[in-house]
Amino acid sequence: MPHVVTDKCTGCKFTDCVEVCPVACFYEMDNQVVIHPEDCIDCMACVDVCPVHAIYA
């Protein structure tokens, strides 16, 4: 199941989650990043580095 980025991400300027993603499944939309569900491999790397705890499985 792909991970979901919540509203806590809105306006966040940290891109740690994007940088650590091994498959580059993030894209920017409406002032936050979003995970493309078909590309996410559920590695959970982004969950561990998100400074605002906005990413959930």
pLDDT by residue for the chain (57 residues), tens only, comes to 668 899 999 998 888 999 999 999 999 988 899 999 999 999 999 999 999 999 988
Q: For position 47, which CATH number holds?
A: 3.30.70.20
Report d(CA 6, CA 55) in Å as an integer.
6
Q: Model's pTM, two decimal places?
A: 0.83
**3-class secondary structure, 6:** coil
> CB within 8 A of 19, min separation 6: which ones?
none
Residue 40 structural domain: 4-56
Tokens encoding 38: 């078909």
Report d(CA 44, CA 39) in Å as an integer.
13
Q: How many domains does the chain have?
A: 1
Helix (H) or strand (E) holding 44: none
